[in-house]
Structure 1
Amino acid sequence: MAHVFAFWESRAFYDSFMARSHDRLASAQAGTFKDAQVKLFDYRFDVKTGFEPRFTDADLVRVALARIHEERVENFTLMQEKVWNPAMAGSPGMIRGLFGEAPGHEFLVLSMWRQAAEHGKYRTERVERLALRAQTEADVAALTGDIVELEPTWTV
């Protein structure tokens, strides 16, 4: 499995790429992959500090995708900002991240970590307590995610 993250300067640049170049590039890649899933998220806010789409100082990316109950979107967003972000920001080894939103009450939390061991400490020590405080179980209709070990030769 491969994860590909792309960051666009603006929606206009993304739309221009889709209109002018996407189909040509996609046809050149036909047969090189299967079961591609693509989602476009709008940036909402940073996790920890000013997000930069730079991966050279990270060894690991944690990506979480959540579909939120419609009536709980406001709480979920607030808890991400007031509970989860400060907890991740205070974790040694967490570099930066972002919180994004897609149509259909879907959200992305992407966090970048210096090392897998540092992310592991955060996860085991704090997640259950933070989830109770943030009422995450009441907010989330579906949650998936992955821990992605970065391959430096794939960074463009």
Structure 2
Amino acid sequence: MKIKTGIGFDAHRFVEGRKLILGGIEIPYDMGLLGHSDADVLIHAIIDSLVGPALGRDIGNLFPDNDMKYKDIDSRILLKESVSLIRKAGFEISNVDATIIAEKPKMKPFIPEMRSMLADVMDIEIDDITIKATTTEKMGFTGRGEGIAAIAVSTIIKSFRQP
């Protein structure tokens, strides 16, 4: 058995005129995040934490932001494809632990729905995904309310079973 751990990070700035999508759900807010896809920083961080150790690649290699096929795409589709790729490589997800870094909006009310959505998309138990939220106490771009960041750590396992 081989156990690998990966880390992922993503950040996007706020803009008017877009929906705020985090963890695959829409969060009521007067701004959304700017990005080529739906700019779901949480899912993007999770993808990097999974495909890094399994495939030696990152989200930008798999889903380039200069490919119009991915313009405004739902990041849940990207996550589902990423999970499929790591499973084809022989890995299973043990757990995902993620943190959203945002001054506003408050994330706590939305975390249970995010966990449920992500567990469903990744086809893992809800207890195998943890999502936390924090602020930076008004410091930096997230603290000034200019955007949102997320970080994720995942553990994946590859079995070496004999036929």
TM-score (norm. length: structure 2): 0.27
Larger of the two Rg values belongs to structure: 1
TM-score (norm. length: structure 1): 0.28
